[in-house]
């Protein structure tokens, strides 16, 4: 390890010498920064990712390497560190020597007496690119859905005019002059069918209006009440599968969300946990709520067959994606859950290993 890094105390240098192999071989970015805003020590992963030599990294303020739009938030975060406030899950962008932008996720903590900050960062560029691609697809999907909705409204409204015109013709028609019974019967059938069509169009538009209102209506919901409604509706499935459901919403009892969407989230995740339970084991499903960084979080864990995350990666919430050989799997449940969450500004992620269950974490929009 290079011990020529600037402004490090002998105690700090001795510390790094003790963990030299770990520091140098870690794939994560490890660094020490001073309260003055300069890097004091970096591991090879930092230089490799950012493409700068140690000397170049030490020679300029850290903010010079930060993407311009993130410099203010980075400076504010650094100020908090000097006030003994740790930094967790902080994201910002750096610009490499060749001009590429990389996303980093930081965990940092200050050593007040030495005026130093120890920091660990993970390169999350790939994850961010996937999120941006997914958001672009979701935006396009939302646009298409809105266009289809508008087309449906337009079609229903436009059809009502010729139907009303046709009914007006019947009002003007003097059937007393028609003597043929078959003709009268035919006219009667057409008139009844036209009235039926008008009613269908009116009902269809009313249904669209109601559905649109329900999809966008937010209310303060009690997690426990909504979950118990869902559990009651699938009581037979819970009983027959002998599933054990544990609930702890003590840290965050309520959330501002759409009730229909929340019920659908609960329903899909519960039924999936039961459907894909591990052979020879009874399904166990745990619900917990938390407050994290000012937001409400919901975690749902189970002990099922889990997922091979290396294989499923970004496909996990895709439409008609199937990750097992079950014939009754349609690949829609997780797609619906994802859209319920993201359509209202939330975020969902999955942690899982094969045969070790799954953990879904939903972060709701503030």
Mean pLDDT of 168-181: 79
Q: Which two tokens stand for residue 129?
A: 């690119």
Q: How many Å apart are CA 148 and CA 152, to the nearest integer?
A: 6
Q: How many Å apart are CA 190 and CA 325, to the nearest integer?
A: 52
Q: What are phi and psi of 345, to 5 degrees?
A: 85, 10
Strands 244-248 and 295-302: unpaired
Q: Which residue has the tokens 């975060």?
A: 77
Q: How does pLDDT run across 260-291, given as a tens digit for each residue?
A: 889 989 998 999 899 888 877 889 999 999 99
Closest CA to 273 of 309, 305, 310: 305
Q: What are phi and psi of 98, to 5 degrees?
A: -85, 0
> CATH number of the domain at 10-123, please?
3.30.450.20
Q: Which two tokens stand for residue 318?
A: 């895709």
Domain borders along the chain are 10-123, 129-216, 219-363
Q: Is 115 left (phi over 0), alpha (psi -120 to 50) or beta?
A: left
Compute the radius of gyration of the chain from its Cα atoms: 30
Q: Fold for domain 129-216?
A: Helix Hairpins (1.10.287)
Q: Do residues 107 and 89 touch, judged by C-beta distance below 8 A?
A: yes
Please tell me the predicted confidence (pLDDT) of residue 119: 92
How is the chain split among helix, strand and coil, in percent rounded to 5?
Answer: 50, 25, 25
**Kind and range of the H or E run holding 338:** helix 333-343
User: What is the domain class of 219-363 according to CATH?
Assistant: alpha beta
Q: Which residue has the higher pLDDT, 356 or 313?
A: 356
Q: How many residues does the chain have?
A: 366
Q: Do residues 215 and 258 touch, judged by C-beta distance below 8 A?
A: yes
Q: How does pLDDT run across 196-209, given as a tens digit for each residue?
A: 887 877 777 777 76
Q: How does pLDDT run across 119-171, given as a tens digit for each residue?
A: 999 999 988 888 778 767 766 776 777 677 666 766 766 676 677 777 777 77
Query: Quick one: pLDDT band at residue 326, thresholds 50, 70, 90?
Result: very low
Torsional sign, CA 219, 360, 123, 24: positive
Q: How does pLDDT run across 19-51, given as a tens digit for each residue?
A: 677 778 889 999 999 999 999 999 999 999 999
Read off the pTM. Answer: 0.45
Please tell me the predicted confidence (pLDDT) of residue 60: 95
Mean pLDDT of 103-114: 89
Q: Which residue has the higher pLDDT, 146 or 100?
A: 100
Does position 54 have pLDDT exceeding 90, yes or no? yes
List residues bridging with 121 in a β-sheet.
Answer: 29, 106
Q: Do residues 188 and 175 touch, judged by C-beta distance below 8 A?
A: no
């Amino acid at each position: 390890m290079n011990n020529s890094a600037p402004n490090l105390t002998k105690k700090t240098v001795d510390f790094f010498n003790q963990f030299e192999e770990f520091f140098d071989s870690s794939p994560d970015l490890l660094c020490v920064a001073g309260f003055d805003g300069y890097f004091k020590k970096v591991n090879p992963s930092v230089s490799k990712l950012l493409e700068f030599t140690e000397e170049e990294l030490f020679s300029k303020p850290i903010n010079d390497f930060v993407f311009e739009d993130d410099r203010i938030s980075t400076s504010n975060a650094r100020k908090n560190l000097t006030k003994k406030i740790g930094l967790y899950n902080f994201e910002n962008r750096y610009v490499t020597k060749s001009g590429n932008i990389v996303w980093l996720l930081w965990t940092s903590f200050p050593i007040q007496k030495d005026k130093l900050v120890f920091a660990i960062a993970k390169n999350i560029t790939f994850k961010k690119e996937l999120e941006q691609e997914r958001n672009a697809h979701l935006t396009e999907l939302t646009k298409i859905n809105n266009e289809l909705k508008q087309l449906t409204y337009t079609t229903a409204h436009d059809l009502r005019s010729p139907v009303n015109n046709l009914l007006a013709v019947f009002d003007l028609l003097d059937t007393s002059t028609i003597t043929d019974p078959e003709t009268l019967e035919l006219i009667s059938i057409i008139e009844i069918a036209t009235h039926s069509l008008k009613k269908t169009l009116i009902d269809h538009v009313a249904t669209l209006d109601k559905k649109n209102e329900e999809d966008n209506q937010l209310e303060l919901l009690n997690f426990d009440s909504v979950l118990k409604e869902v559990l009651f509706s699938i009581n037979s499935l819970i009983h027959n599968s002998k599933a054990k459901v544990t609930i702890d919403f003590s840290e965050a009892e309520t959330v501002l969300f759409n009730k229909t969407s929340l019920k659908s989230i609960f329903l899909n995740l519960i039924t999936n946990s039961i459907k894909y339970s591990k052979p020879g084991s009874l399904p166990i499903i745990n619900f917990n709520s938390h407050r994290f960084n000012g937001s409400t979080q919901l975690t749902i864990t189970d002990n099922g067959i889990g997922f091979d995350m290396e294989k499923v990666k970004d496909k996990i919430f895709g439409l008609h994606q199937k990750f097992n050989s079950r014939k009754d799997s349609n690949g829609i449940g997780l797609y619906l859950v994802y859209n319920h969450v993201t359509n209202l500004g939330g975020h969902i992620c999955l942690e899982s290993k094969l045969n070790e269950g799954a953990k879904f974490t939903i972060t709701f929009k503030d």
